[in-house]
Structure 1
Amino acid sequence: MARTRLLFACLALAAPLVPATAQAAPLHASGLVLSVQPEMGALSTTQLNCEPAGGLHKNAQEACDQLTPVEGDFRRLPDSGALCTMELNPTKATLRGKWRNKRIDFQQVYSNPCVVRASTGKVFDF
């Protein structure tokens, strides 16, 4: 009995010594690295976190909102219906990371940057 009280007393004294950093930032269930590389143009790369939305992506919340109903499969996003020129500038879109802890590694070449954005909504609009 005395041992139990001593143990509880030690724990009570040690509790304030636990660093405040023990409450770390929330883990993201989905973290993606996206890049767009036009044949005639510069490589653009960003990071998108979802659940909660964040990262360096300028449209993080909108991109996450679009990815959620399709379970992170941006290929299932509805086409925006935007009109694009018939410019030929092959553009590779790459997405790597995880969506709800499932690994994703995908790349696709589109005819130009406008078609990338029209086909993927806010996901590749960064």
Structure 2
Amino acid sequence: MTYFTRATAAAGVLLAAAGLLAAGPAQAAAPPGAGRLHLTITRSGDRADSALLRCLPPRGHPYAAEACAELAAARGDIDRVPARKVFCPRIYSPVTATARGRWNGRIVDFRRTYTNSCELRARTGAVFALDD
């Protein structure tokens, strides 16, 4: 082995160890706030509302701009959307919220059941505000 071949192999090992060499073709990172989520709210009696929320630009949802802004601030994690301080009646009328899709290249698979629609809106902000 020549000095040049050994030096090249050593440099390759060092770069690979540093994580600078990709195992395959490089993929472009999704722009911040890039997301597409299929949102569904199922109420008692099997009545469901749904929307396809798209961000960049916000569309497909009655409050798309607000929902996208809240998701961007929460880095796509619906559980991290700040809860609103509201008084909700203690009426048991369960609603189940689901969100499936992608946010900044990550898969989103969210499902929670809330006591009623008021609690859903208080805990998820504009994300599940599917009624006009």
TM-score scaled by structure 1?
A: 0.73
Q: Which residue identity lines up with residue 66 of structure 2 in the other structure?
A: E
- 1:1-126 correspondence runs (5 A): 29-40=34-45, 42-55=47-60, 57-126=61-130
Measured against aligned partners, the alpha-carbon deviations of 1:11-32 in whole angstroms (never above 9, x if no partner) come to xxxxxxxxxxxxxxxxx93100
Q: Distance in 1 between matches of 2:87 and 2:51?
A: 25
Contact 1:34 1:46 in 2 (8 A): yes
Q: Which residue identity lines up with residue 42 of structure 1 in the other structure?
A: R
Partner of 1:8: none
Contact 1:92 1:108 in 2 (8 A): yes
What are the ranges of 5 or more consecutive residues in structure 1 without an aligned counterpart? Answer: 1-27
Q: Distance in 2 between matches of 1:40 and 1:112?
A: 13
Task: Quote how far apart the aligned CAs of 1:96 are.
Answer: 0.3
What are the ranges of 5 or more consecutive residues in structure 2 without an aligned counterpart? Answer: 1-32
Q: Which residue identity lines up with residue 93 of structure 1 in the other structure?
A: A
Q: Which residue identity lines up with residue 121 of structure 1 in the other structure?
A: G
Q: Which residue identity lines up with residue 90 of structure 1 in the other structure?
A: P
Task: Quote how far apart the aligned CAs of 1:114 are.
Answer: 0.9
Q: Distance in 2 between matches of 1:38 and 1:87?
A: 13
In structure 2, the CA distance between the partners of 1:102 and 1:76, relative to structure 1 (3 Å rule), is same
Task: Quote how far apart the aligned CAs of 1:106 are.
Answer: 1.1
Aligned length: 98
Q: How many percent identity over aligned positions?
A: 36
